[in-house]
Structures are given as C-alpha cells and as structure tokens.
Amino acid sequence: TTAVAISQIMSQNISGTTKTAKAMKFACSDTVSCSHLVLNNINLVKMDGTAETYCNSATGFGYGYVQPSAECLNSSDKKFIVRQADDAQPSEHYLIHTEL
C-alpha cells in the first residue's frame, strides 16, 4: 500500500460540538507523516464532557484561540508556517460543525 503526504494545511474559524471525546483527530501514517498543519480560531466542545485532540505522526501548531488544545501538534516549524499562513488570503467565512 501507499500513503499520501499531507502538508501545509490551515484550518481556521471553526466552531461546533462533538459527540465523541476526540473533537480533532490527526491520524496520519506512521510511514508518511502529516506536517505543517496550522490551527487558528478553533472552538470545538463536547456535549457532555471534555473534548480532546488526537495526533499520530502529525506536526504543526495552533495559534490564537484553539480549543481543545492541539499541543500534540507542537513542532519547531513555526517560523515557516507563520510566514506561509501570512501569505494566505483572509476569509470572512465561518464553518460551523454540529454532529447530530
């Protein structure tokens, strides 16, 4: 089998609720990791309990408000990612996610 390399992904302005404990899940391949993931202005809550973030073979960082914390993404690539993120066009669109 083969794996796809995921990199330079920015998720921002996302809010909602989750039924599962893992509100954010970065389950990347042990062979080909995910890298340069950026989270900004994320607010995900669990309906009855504490939401968490799961990371496997994923690096990046969160800035601004990020709930639940995504410290499992911590990497040394912040300078590269911030420079790339600053080049992105600002968006006024907000994605609201709710699980039924």
Going across the sheet that includes 34-46, the strands are 58-67, 34-46, 7-18, 95-98
Backbone phi, psi, residue 29, to 5°: -65, 140
Q: Smallest Cα–Cα separation from 8: which of 96, 82, 89, 94?
A: 82
To the question of pTM greater than 0.85 for the whole model, the response is no
DSSP code at position 76? S
Please give the pLDDT value at position 2. Answer: 72
pLDDT along the chain (100 residues), means of 10: 85 95 93 93 93 94 94 68 45 52
92: how many CB neighbours lie within 10 A of its CB?
5
Instruction: State the pLDDT at residue 74.
Output: 82
Please name which of 58, 83, 80 lies closest in space to residue 70, comparing C-alpha atoms. Answer: 58
Alpha carbons 22 and 93: distance in angstroms, whole number:
24
What's the pLDDT at 83? 45
